[in-house]
Amino acid sequence: MENVTPHLPAGEQIRRAPKVLLHDHLDGGLRPGTIVDIARETGYEGLPETDPDALGRWFREAADSGSLERYLETFTHTCAVMQTRDALVRVAAECAEDLAADGVVYAEVRYAPEQHLEGGLSLEEVVEAVNEGFREGERRALAAGGRIRIGALLTAMRHAARSQEIAELANRYRDLGVVGFDIAGAEAGFPPTRHLDAFDYLKRENNHFTIHAGEAFGLPSIWQALQWCGADRLGHGVRIIDDITVDGDGVHLGRLASYVRDKRVPLEMCPTSNLQTGAASSYREHPIGLLRRLHFRVTVNTDNRLMSGTSMSEEFAHLVEAFGYTLDDMQWFTVNAMKSAFIPFDERLAMINEVIKPGYAALKAEWLFAAGAVVPSVASGSAGERG
Ligand SMILES: O=c1[nH]cnc2c1ncn2[C@@H]1O[C@H](CO)[C@@H](O)[C@H]1O
Ligand SMILES: [Zn+2]
């Protein structure tokens, strides 16, 4: 009899479970075959491999360096093939299709418009091409029997000096496919306060933003992101663990960790990416386990599906294995993510009540109808033991 234990998710159930993704980079999620195609079409000759399988392996290995800076070097190749309107439409459409096929029902996908200007596109043309691709991908997913909604986050690169311009762009395209703003790139040496003008501007506009913080750099980065910049969410935020001590007397939260938990600050955690950049040493030791137990507002994310060779289902499968998470835990993470999304409250609520909860309820009931589940011993109470 297969999987009659209620609530314990098997691989295929994890894929079918509705999932919400808040932290995924468009330029970190291309299909290797698409990179090869576009490189050929546009004459980009810098690819380290031209066979799609070998190229996929190359990205995973090159990103597996233990350093964020080296991890980020691999984006040269994906950005190189995302410089034309057609390429951006294609990459965005495939992103939506791939996420929907993996059971993601809502995603916020980010990219840095300033990294897609080498072919002569304007910032506006970049945003419009990506939006067009997302809409196309949503339609294709629907036609294939799936369903997904995608909102874009516009990222400014923290080492550069275009954050104000990108924040204004995010504001201009608000309600037109863009739902918020972010900063990314190497963290050490580039504190979020370098971009205070952009964050202040977005606050005055009542707009939303998240900040990559507490990944390659510790508590000061998280503190600045929250208390100086006013971030709505933290990208990664794993280093908040440095402000938590666990000893014989129990768990003690420092002031910053308390603030993060008390204010329900969403943490966009990306376990596999953290293993690759050295921010965590194994799935079992990943801070997500403790933070979930302490009821921080934790969410599960992919970061870069190509560089990490992952998907939302893969991330959850690793966590199920490491921490014994059930469908109830998956639902908890998913509801956390949906609550923390940047779309309007009524839409988030409808997603939770009409899509996420019914989806998990259906999965949790499956054991009842599994072959062999209804046996005479039901009367003697074995079904009750399963619950
Ligand atoms: O985990 C990360 N930490 C910091 N920056 C990142 C991470 N993943 C990707 N990017 C950076 O964000 C840019 C826009 O999508 C990417 O080009 C990459 O440089
Ligand atoms: Zn990221």
ipTM: 0.99
Ligand 1, residues 75, 114, 183: which to mutate, most atoms within 8 A of Cβ?
75
**Nearest CA, atom 11, ligand 1:** 185
Residue 4 in any domain: the answer is no
Q: 383 in a domain, yes or no?
A: no
Q: How far is the CA of 185 from the centre of ligand 1 (A)?
A: 5
CA 75 – CA 25 distance, rounded (Å)? 10
Phi (first) and psi of residue 74, to 5 degrees: -65, -20
CA of 193 to the centre of ligand 2 (A): 18
User: Which tokens belong to 122?
Assistant: 């304007």
| pLDDT at site 375 | 53
Residue nearest (by alpha carbon) to ligand 1 atom 1: 303
Q: Specify the pLDDT at position 7.
A: 62
Alpha helices (runs of H) in 112-265, residue ranges in sequence order: 123-143, 163-172, 196-204, 219-223, 255-262
* Catalytic member of 97, 128, 215, 314: 215
Token look-up 């999304």 returns 341
Alpha carbon of 357 to ligand 2 centroid (Å) = 27
Q: How many CB atoms lie within 10 A of CB 119?
A: 14
| Structural domain includes residue 320 | yes
**Ligand 1, atom nearest to 78 Cα:** 17
CA–CA distances in Å: residue 374 to residues 2, 354, 361, 377, 381: 13, 29, 19, 8, 12
d(CA 269, CA 274): 8
For residues 150, 151, 152, 158, the Cα torsion angle rounded to the nearest 10 degrees is -110
In the numeric block, the tokens 């990306």 are attached to: 270
Calpha distance 306→93 (Å, rounded): 16
Q: State which ligand 1 atom lies nearest to the alpha carbon of 26.
A: 15
Q: How many CB atoms lie within 10 A of CB 349?
A: 12
Domain-embedded: residue 387: no
Instruction: State the residue range of the domain holding 135.
Output: 11-373
Residue ranges for the known binding site are: 23, 25, 27, 185, 212, 303
Alpha carbon distance 28, 212 (integer Å): 15
Number of the ligand 1 atom closest to the C-alpha atom of 270: 1
- Give the pLDDT confidence score for residue 381 in this predicted structure: 43
Measured in Å, residue 211 CA sits from the centre of ligand 2 at 9
The C-alpha atoms of residue 306 and residue 79 are separated, in whole angstroms, by 13
Asked whether residue 382 is domain-assigned, the answer is no
SS3 assignment, position 209: strand
Domain count, the chain: 1
Q: Which of 98, 100, 152 is nearest to 128 (CA)?
A: 152
Is 215 annotated as catalytic? yes
Task: Determine, yes or no, domain membership for 384.
Answer: no
Residues around ion ligand 2, judged by CB within 5 A, are 303
Q: Looking at the CA of 268, which ligand is closest?
A: 2
In a domain, 197, yes or no: yes
Kindly give the residue spans of alpha helices, DSSP state H, lying in 43-84.
Answer: 52-63, 68-73, 75-80
CATH of the domain at 150: 3.20.20.140
Alpha helices (H) in 182-230, listed in sequence order: 196-204, 219-223
Rounded distance from Cα 365 to ligand 1 centre (Å): 39
Which residues line ligand 1 at a C-beta cut-off of 6 Å?
25, 27-28, 68, 72, 75, 110-112, 115, 155, 184-185, 212, 215, 273, 303-304
Instruction: From 257, 178, 265, 273, select the one nearest 229 (Cα to Cα).
Output: 265
Binding site for Zn(2+): which residues?
23, 25, 212, 303
Which residues lie below 8 Å from residue 321, measured CB to CB, with a gap of 6+? 283
The ligand 1 atom at the shortest distance from the C-alpha of residue 236 is 1
> Could you tell me if residue 2 is inside a domain?
no
Sign of CA dihedral 198, 218, 190, 274: negative
> Tens-of-pLDDT digits for all 387 residues of the chain?
444 455 679 889 999 999 999 999 999 999 999 999 999 999 999 999 999 999 999 999 999 988 888 899 999 999 999 999 999 999 999 999 999 999 999 999 999 999 999 999 999 999 999 999 999 999 999 999 999 999 999 999 999 999 999 999 999 999 999 999 999 999 889 999 999 999 999 999 999 999 999 998 899 999 999 999 999 999 999 999 999 999 998 999 999 999 999 999 999 999 999 999 998 999 999 999 999 999 999 999 999 999 999 999 999 999 999 999 999 999 999 999 999 999 999 999 999 999 999 999 999 999 888 876 655 454 444 444 443
Alpha helices in the chain, H assignment, sequence order: 11-16, 32-42, 52-63, 68-73, 75-80, 85-101, 123-143, 163-172, 196-204, 219-223, 255-262, 271-277, 288-293, 312-323, 327-339, 345-350, 357-369, 382-386
